[in-house]
Structure formats: structure tokens, C-alpha cells
């Protein structure tokens, strides 16, 4: 094996390359979401951005979070596309153009967000603890927490979601009855 | 809790290959070499294997379809039509790659790859043998494969929408409806098995089932046995296979979501379908059917022995045998998928939604709760067979007699079911007329006078 390769730390190089590749995918698709005027294309770009973020989670050894990200957001973009196709007619309305005022407002909000995030990034001192190999795997800890220590809040949130679902079903049904 | 049983010994990238190569060459284990080996494994083993499987499965599917419907199936190209798929492949490659006018060109061209890549990526977490898993330390293996397979849907929907064709769009919308309905029962039926085994890692799941037929997850309690059936039905829906092939339904929608596709891009959708068939069958094998283990627990026993005595040659042989068993079980399930496809008629889309949401969903909830209650009430043996207890010694089951009786009884029921089917098919095979002629001769079978 060439010495130059042996000297490079494998993990640093591999994670570096993968990080920048994934970050590029996420950034480009995020730009695509903003720029594209076609609603289905926007959803497709959003999908790539979210899957790229899942890849970043994998790089951080958070496979569970990555899998959840994929499962939840693929479903989410799916629904978005269905609405995009079903609630708008095929011909004209599928393209969503923004007016000049909206663009200006969006730019201002974006700039403020960017400034805030940059400030936070610059002013925070990040500490990172290496993972303890003896500790139970995060999924086990997560499961114990959700169904043990935090059972009541977890179930309460589920009840709130159930209420939302019932409400949505009721509204949809009432509307259909009027017709 | 048994998670991480094997994770200390399991190596990154097919550990066995790495061990053999390091032993033979005397090189020190290097992450670069392992990384390169990962690429070699993906490019030289997984890709050709999936391609070959798809090509052969398409031929088998047509043969099965033919024989189930009293036809012959392909029989002109090569012996008993074996080369038919190759001929089709040549035709597809030489076909013009059309993009319809008014289609969303970018999404149209991208969609087949979005459909194919996830089915391919899912193979990385599948345990083909105790040391033949690409990523054995993936603690959330089952969940990961499920998430990855869900991405395939996006390829179908984007492809259908981008075609600028109303049949394709209808197909895509039906696929979306179907996803919303089958995903929850699919996930819940998997959770039943995972809750019984107590781990999401697919390699650990395999090791837990190594003590013979009665330790397979499917026979742990009656609820798991039923959730095996729920999983199978939901997996048919997830593969868009008949009777749930609504997105394609060629009698109403021309060809559904891939109406406008031709040539290589069309075949990508086909490859995706067959790869996904194999993946869901492999998940079912790993979760329920004892993964790579034989019914007598021999592989589990010898794996434990060889690991203790550090017998590399024995481990290599054992792993290849295990891979054969694993793939064999998965292929048997794929055959059942084909059998169902050519036997059952297609329901309407509202009937599919009804079946998934109003029947399978409540049923899988009942199964999950039932299985959990069962585990609370009936004490069970925890640990890895052969490593922590001897699955065939009654002493090891002391205090868990109820579990042992249930598992052995359920295993007998399972053997009875499979035996009945095999006997039935065997009877038809023996008494059917002119079998050889049916397979080879294209001329009509003469009536027996």
C-alpha cells in the first residue's frame, strides 16, 4: 500500500468527502425548492434535500434518526405531490409564480435568518463528547425513555394527533354533505 | 435484551471475506482495504446477482403464469425458453429511448433510477449468512430497510406524473393511495416480530433463531404466525404485485405509471419490481423464517463451534451454506408471490383501501397487543440458542415450559401446512399428463382418449 494513503486517516477523509457531497446535494436541492415554479418539481427537490439530510445523520452515527427522517418525509412529500396534482388543474395552476412583493419579503426573512444562524454559529462554543461504547445503543435508550419515563407526555401527544385527525375527517365529511 | 450480541465480533464490510484475505496475505487489517472491498462486493456480487435474479425471475414468472393458466409460457428461445429474457433484454436495449412531448424531461428521465436505487440499497442490510451481511453493525437494520424501500414509491409517482399522460398520472395517484393504506399494516406486522425478538439488528435477529424450527420467530406465538400472513399481504401491495397491481392495472390504464416508458428505462422499472420482490421476501425470511438457519439448528450449532475453535475454513463453508439456505427460503417466498399473482383477480382500488385500512390495520393492532400480552403472561427463554442455552435440552426450558410446548406445537402446525401444500403440488405433478411435453413441445397437447 502506498505510504501516502496509509498516512491519511481513513475516517477523516471518508467522512469529509461524504459530508461535502451530501451537503452539496442538500444545498442544491434546497435552492431548487426555492427557484422551481413547478409544484411537483419543488416536491421532488424537497425530497432530495430531506434524504440528503438523512445521509448527514448517518454520518453522525444517528441511523435511527436517518431512517425516521426518510420514513416521515418521504410520506410528507408524497402527500404534497398528491395535493399538488389533485388540487390544481394540470394545465396552468401547477406553476406557482411569486409576485415581486412576496419575493422581497422572502428575501428579507431569509437574510435575517441567515444572519441569526451565522451569529449563533460564530458565538457558540461546541463541545462534543465521544460516544461511550459501553452505553446502551441510543435506540434502546430512546425506546425505554418513550415507553418508560416519558410515557404520559408521549401518549398525550398521540391523543392530540388523534383529535386533529378526527377533526380533519369531520371537516372533510361536513363539506361533502353540503354539496 | 439481546441487542449487540454479535456486534463485537462482526466486522465492517463482509467480515468473512476480509478475514480470509487478511489471513491469506498476512496484511494488517486496513480501513482503506475494507472500504475498497465494499465497492468490489457491491459492484461484482450484488449488482450482477440482482440482474441475473431479475432476468431469471421474469422467465420463471412467465413459465409459472403459463402453467397456472394451462398455457406453455416462453419455449422458443433456448432450451425450454431459458434465453427468452436475454432476447427481451437485447430488444429493450436496442429500442429507442422515447420521451413524450410535453413531459417533464428531467423527472421523466430520473424516475426509473429513483425507483431502482432503493431496492438495490436495501440489500446492504440483509443478512445472507452469519458473516455475510454488508453492514452487520446496523442497529436499526429492519427499520432502515423499510425506510429505504419506501423511497421506491417516489420513483413510481414521479415517473407517472412526469409522463404527461392521464393513464400514467392515474397510475401514480393510485400508487399514492395504496402506499397510504398498506404502509401502516406492513410496519405493524414487522413490529410484532421485532417485539418478540427484541432487536432491530438483522444479524442478531438471525442468530436468535438458530436453535431449530421451534425457535424461529414465526413459531414463537400464534400472533406472530398471523402477522406473517399480514406482512405477506402488505408486501404484495408494496411491490405493486397482483392482486394489488392497481398502479399498473394493464386492463384499464394501458400500463399505468410506465405507459410512456420504453427501452432501458422501462426495464429499470421491471428490475426495480423484481429486486423489491426479493428484498421483501428476504426481510420476511430474516424476520420470521429463521433467516439462514436450517430447521434442525445445525448451522447455529456448528457456527458456535467453529467460532470457538477459530476454524476459518469451516466458517467459510458454513457461511456459503447459510447463504444458500437464506436465498432458497426467499426464492420460495418469491415463488408464492408469483403463484398468488396468477391465481387471484385484481380488486378495485376502493376494495384495496378497504382491505388494507379496515381489515389489515385493526387486525395488526390486535396482533401487536396480543403478542405483547402473550410475552407478559407466558415466560420465555431469552438468549441466543447454543450460545446461552441448548434449544434441544428440556433443562434449558425449565420455567418456560409453556413457551416450549407452544413453539413446538406451532412448528408442527407450520410443518403440516407446508407439507400439505408440497403433497398437493406433488400429487398434481405426478398425476398431471405429459409434463415433459408441456415444458418443451409448443404443439397442442393431444386429448387423452
CB-based burial label for B141 (10 Å; 0-12, 13-18, 19+): buried
DSSP B127: B
Put simply, the answer to whether A78 touches B157 (Cβ < 8 Å) is yes
The residues with which B127 forms a beta bridge, in sequence order, are B133
pLDDT (0 to 100) of residue B365: 92
If contacts are CB pairs under 8 Å, which of residues 285-344 in chain B contact chain A? Answer: none
pTM: 0.83
- Looking at CA atoms only, how far is residue A51 from chain B in angstroms? 9
- Give B118's pLDDT tier (boundaries 50, 70, 90): confident
Backbone dihedral angles phi then psi of residue A38, each to the nearest 5 degrees: -95, 125
Q: By the CB < 8 Å criterion, does B158 face chain A?
A: yes
Nearest to B147 among A10, A38, A70 (CB): A70
CB contact under 8 A, B173 and A6: no
Picking from B31, B140, B173, the nearest residue to A82 by CB comes out as B173
Q: What is the pLDDT of residues B240-271, one digit of tens each?
A: 887 888 888 777 877 778 888 888 888 888 88
Split at pLDDT 50, 70, 90, the class of A112 is very high
CA B267/CA B187 separation, integer angstroms = 29
Question: Which run of H or E residues covers position B73?
Answer: none
Q: Are B145 and B280 in contact (CB under 8 A)?
A: no
- Measured over the CA atoms of residue B209, residue B211, residue B216 and residue B221, the dihedral's sign is negative
Start-to-end Cα distance in chain B: 67
Q: Would you tell me how many other CB atoms lie within 10 Å of the CB of residue B420?
A: 10
Residue corresponding to grid cell 465494499? B38
Domain ranges for chain B, please list them.
Answer: 1-94, 101-401
Residues of B in Cβ contact (< 8 Å) with A38: 104
Chain B residues with CB under 8 Å of A46 CB are none
pLDDT number for residue B367: 92
Distance of CA A21 to the CA centre of its chain: 17
Residues of chain A contacting residue B110, judged by C-beta atoms under 8 Å apart: 44
CB contact under 8 A, B150 and A70: yes
Q: Which positions in chain B touch A90 (Cβ < 8 Å)?
A: 169
The residue-averaged pLDDT of B190-201 equals 87
H helices then E strands: how many in chain B?
16, 0
Q: The C-alpha cell of B236 is what?
A: 404484495
Q: Rounded distance, CA A29 to CA B424, Å?
A: 55
Neighbours of A110 (CB within 10 A): 11
- How many Å is the Cα radius of gyration of chain B? 23
Cell digits of residue A121: 454559529
List chain B residues with CB under 8 Å of A71.
143, 146-147, 150
Whole-Å CA distances, B289 to B128, B281, B444 = 13, 10, 41
- Other beta carbons within 10 angstroms of residue B319's beta carbon come to 23
How far apart, in whole angstroms, are the C-alpha atoms of residue A122 and residue A115? 11
At B311-360, the pLDDT tens digits run 777 788 888 888 899 999 999 999 999 888 888 888 888 888 888 888 99
What's the length of chain A?
179
B349 touching A (Cβ < 8 Å):
no
Beta-bridge mates of residue B427: none
- The span from the CA of A149 to the CA of A55, in Å, is 30
| pLDDT(A179) > 70 | no
Rounded to whole angstroms, how far apart are CA atoms B178 and B248? 12
CA distances from B435 to B57, B329, B335, B338, B430 (A): 21, 26, 19, 20, 9
Averaged pLDDT of chain A: 79
Query: How many beta carbons lie within 10 A of that of residue B284, not counting itself?
Result: 21
**C-alpha span between B238 and B280 (Å, rounded):** 9
DSSP string, A142-161: HHHIIIIITHHHHHHHHHHH
Neighbours of B97 (CB within 10 A): 12
Q: Tell me: ipTM over 0.85.
A: no
* Predicted pLDDT of residue B293: 87
Q: Is the pLDDT of residue B12 over 60?
A: no
Amino acid at each position: 500500500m502506498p505510504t501516502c494513503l496509509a498516512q491519511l486517516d481513513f475516517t477523516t477523509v471518508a467522512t469529509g468527502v461524504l459530508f461535502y457531497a451530501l451537503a452539496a446535494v442538500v444545498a442544491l436541492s434546497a435552492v431548487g425548492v426555492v427557484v422551481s415554479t413547478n409544484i411537483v418539481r419543488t416536491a421532488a427537490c424537497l425530497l432530495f434535500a430531506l434524504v440528503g439530510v438523512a445521509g448527514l445523520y448517518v454520518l453522525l452515527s444517528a441511523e435511527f434518526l436517518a431512517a425516521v427522517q426518510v420514513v416521515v418525509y418521504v410520506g410528507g412529500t408524497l402527500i404534497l405531490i398528491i395535493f399538488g396534482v389533485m388540487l390544481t388543474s394540470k394545465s396552468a395552476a401547477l406553476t406557482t409564480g411569486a409576485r415581486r412583493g412576496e419575493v422581497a419579503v422572502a428575501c428579507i426573512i431569509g437574510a435575517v435568518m441567515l444572519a441569526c444562524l451565522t451569529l449563533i454559529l460564530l458565538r457558540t462554543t461546541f463541545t462534543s463528547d465521544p460516544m461511550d461504547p459501553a452505553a446502551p445503543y441510543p435506540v434502546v435508550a430512546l425506546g425505554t425513555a418513550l415507553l418508560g419515563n416519558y410515557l404520559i407526555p408521549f401518549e398525550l401527544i398521540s391523543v392530540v394527533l388523534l383529535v386533529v385527525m378526527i377533526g380533519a375527517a369531520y371537516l372533510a365529511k361536513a363539506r361533502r354533505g353540503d354539496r | 435484551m439481546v441487542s449487540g450480541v454479535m456486534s463485537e465480533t462482526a466486522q465492517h464490510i463482509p467480515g468473512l471475506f476480509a478475514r480470509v484475505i487478511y489471513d491469506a496475505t498476512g496484511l494488517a487489517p486496513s480501513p482503506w482495504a475494507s472500504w475498497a472491498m465494499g465497492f468490489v462486493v457491491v459492484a461484482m456480487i450484488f449488482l450482477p446477482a440482482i440482474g441475473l435474479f431479475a432476468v431469471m425471475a421474469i422467465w420463471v414468472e412467465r413459465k409459472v403464469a403459463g402453467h397456472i393458466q394451462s398455457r406453455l409460457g416462453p419455449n422458443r428461445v433456448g432450451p425450454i425458453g431459458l434465453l427468452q429474457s436475454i432476447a427481451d433484454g437485447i430488444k429493450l436495449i436496442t429500442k429507442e429511448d422515447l420521451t413524450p412531448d410535453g413531459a417533464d424531461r428531467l423527472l421523466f428521465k430520473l424516475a426509473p433510477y429513483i425507483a431502482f436505487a432503493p431496492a438495490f440499497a436495501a440489500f446492504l442490510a440483509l443478512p445472507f449468512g452469519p458473516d455475510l451481511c454488508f453492514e452487520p453493525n446496523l442497529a436499526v437494520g429492519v427499520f432502515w430497510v423499510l425506510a429505504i424501500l419506501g423511497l421506491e414509491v417516489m420513483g413510481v409517482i414521479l415517473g407517472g406524473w412526469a409522463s404527461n399522460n392521464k393513464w400514467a398520472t392515474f397510475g401514480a395517484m393510485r400508487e399514492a393511495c395504496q402506499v397510504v393504506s398498506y404502509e401502516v399494516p406492513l410496519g405493524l406486522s414487522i413490529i410484532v416480530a421485532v417485539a418478540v425478538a427484541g432487536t432491530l439488528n438483522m444479524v442478531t435477529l438471525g442468530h436468535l433463531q438458530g436453535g431449530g424450527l421451534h425457535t424461529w420467530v414465526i413459531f414463537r406465538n400464534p400472533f406472530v404466525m398471523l402477522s406473517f400472513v399480514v406482512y405477506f399481504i402488505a408486501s404484495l401491495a408494496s411491490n405493486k404485485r397482483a392482486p394489488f397491481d392497481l398502479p399498473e392495472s394493464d386492463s384499464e390504464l394501458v400500463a399505468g405509471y410506465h405507459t410512456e416508458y420504453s427501452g432501458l428505462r422501462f426495464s429499470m422499472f421491471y428490475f426495480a419490481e423484481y429486486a423489491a420482490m426479493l428484498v421483501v421476501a428476504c426481510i420476511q425470511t430474516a424476520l420470521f423464517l429463521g433467516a439462514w438457519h436450517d430447521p434442525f439448528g445445525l448451522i447455529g450449532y456448528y457456527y458456535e463451534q467453529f467460532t470457538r475453535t477459530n476454524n476459518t475454513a469451516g466458517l467459510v463453508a458454513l457461511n456459503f451454506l447459510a447463504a444458500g439456505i437464506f436465498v432458497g427460503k426467499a426464492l420460495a417466498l418469491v415463488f408464492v408471490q408469483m403463484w398468488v399473482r396468477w391465481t387471484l383477480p385484481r380488486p378495485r382500488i376502493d376494495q384495496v383501501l378497504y382491505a388494507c385500512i379496515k381489515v389489515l390495520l385493526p387486525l395488526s393492532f390486535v396482533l401487536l397487543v396480543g403478542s405483547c400480552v402473550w410475552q407478559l403472561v407466558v415466560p420465555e427463554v431469552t438468549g441466543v440458542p447454543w450460545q446461552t442455552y441448548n434449544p434441544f435440552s428440556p433443562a434449558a426450558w425449565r420455567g418456560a415450559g409453556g413457551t416450549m410446548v407452544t413453539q413446538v406445537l406451532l412448528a408442527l402446525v407450520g410443518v403440516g401446512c407446508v407439507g400439505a401444500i408440497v403433497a398437493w403440488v406433488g400429487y398434481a405433478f405426478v398425476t398431471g399428463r405429459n409434463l415433459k411435453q408441456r415444458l418443451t413441445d409448443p404443439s397442442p397437447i393431444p386429448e387423452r382418449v
